[in-house]
Structure 1
């Protein structure tokens, strides 16, 4: 997975069109339907901690995991301002570790799409299942094939702001379902000139059936698939989907039998 570098300092500014408050209210409502109204909740790919902070405000004991030091630095600045007791961990989603289980795991802003290898995504689902309390929920969103192929694929997005500008070029590989973001940032310096920074981000789209199969293989049940942050049924024609999965016993019938599976480079103790 690619980390956010220089972009971290201006990420929130360029994401001001995202209604994080509405997303958080949706997550809180979803968790409350399963009587998860407090306790430990983990956010994977927490970024600058915007949603993490809002969930802490709603009464949850939050843990945030991200693999970008720069993004977590922004999140910890927010923690100082809010005074919330949030635990931030610099870890990769593909190998995250906790000291115990949590009542729910969430992931927003298509963080799961950064897992471009099917085996890696399947492994993350198994880790989530391993760290969920019995009956715990996993709520996450993902961009769809339709969005990458028909909406943003092979397009260029540019924005010019007082505190910085960017050019975001997309290219979509239909055969591999990979979308490559070539990001050029222009950030003002104290001497009045602009510094150009470049980053590349790669995301992959998965079909609903593929996600369902992975969720079930990991030991969870897929409860619902919605058009993102609504209660409308989701399908392949949506641009973003919200998936809701539930841990349901880690039974011996599931391939992983309630344990973290082995894979290349990993061994069980």
Structure 2
């Protein structure tokens, strides 16, 4: 048996067990939010995905007024950059790239990023992948949009971790840009998955997922035992074991982190119903913006 860090052994079977995840729906949903609330626009055509576009319609921000043509083009390129923070194996990143967005993917797992790079080689996309911890995000320019979904934010276990990450997002967002993220709620860990065991069996791999919820810390510990068929000897399986930790958050806590980072709340919604979150919402979407006047009350409910 091999003891491994999170998303090392699991990386090679991650896409297999996530094959029923509605990534296409998520990509459509995120693109809709970006179009409605954001400043990033697809490059001229989806076939040119990955090429920074200087041809998108200008939003006429104050920062661009009076700039020479080369500077305006550079600023336009930055506005159209979309960062996928916690991109994993790059499935969603690729789908957004196919929609024409100029994508950057950031993840802390080298193994997950290797799989993302394999997809990039197959599709011919020009996504830039960076191996970084989101708490130490370091980009070469600002970006127009940051997205972080599939509970990546829940891997931030301390208040300081969330505060640092959100401050860096605010720092690298172009004025008027937006930050779209989701998170699993405290309710989900306390009531739905805490102290449960989940198992799944496939032809080439199987896993046992054991949850242990630590109420005082609001931390969900889950131990993964993975059995993956050997590629050379198809009759043999390798056994991996790794432990993941995620923290549950309330909506009020997340609102506080957003506001303290200097961002303004734009929208909150239940991830399943796309309506106003309730006390039993398991996953919540948040849209926050940079350089926007905070509304007296942020939008809630369906993306309307």
Displacement after TM superposition at 1:174 (Å): 1.5
The match for 2:176 among 103, 123, 135 is 135
Kindly tell me the number of residue pairs found equivalent between the two proteins.
250
The match for 2:16 among 6, 13, 19 is 13
Change (3 A) 1:103 1:229: farther
Displacement after TM superposition at 1:18 (Å): 1.1
1:36 is aligned to 2:40: yes
1:96 is aligned to 2:137: yes
**SS, match of residue 14 in structure 2:** helix
**SS, match of residue 186 in structure 1:** strand
**SS, match of residue 181 in structure 1:** strand
TM-score, normalised on structure 2? 0.80
1:25 is aligned to 2:68: no
Asked whether the 8 Å contact 1:45–1:107 carries over to 2, the reply is yes
Query: How is 1:192-203 mapped onto 2 (pairs within 5 angstroms)?
Result: 192-203=235-246
Displacement after TM superposition at 1:36 (Å): 2.9
Alignment-derived partner of residue 242 in structure 1: 285
Displacement after TM superposition at 1:231 (Å): 3.0
Alignment-derived partner of residue 146 in structure 1: 187
Per-residue CA deviation, residues 5-39 of structure 1 (Å, 9 max, x unaligned), is 01111101101121011011000000000343231
Larger Rg: 2
1:173 is aligned to 2:229: no
For 2:257 and 2:198, the matched residues in 1 are separated by 33
Displacement after TM superposition at 1:3 (Å): 3.6
Displacement after TM superposition at 1:146 (Å): 1.1
**SS, match of residue 6 in structure 1:** coil
Which consecutive residues of structure 1, in runs of 5 or more, have no partner in the other structure? 251-269
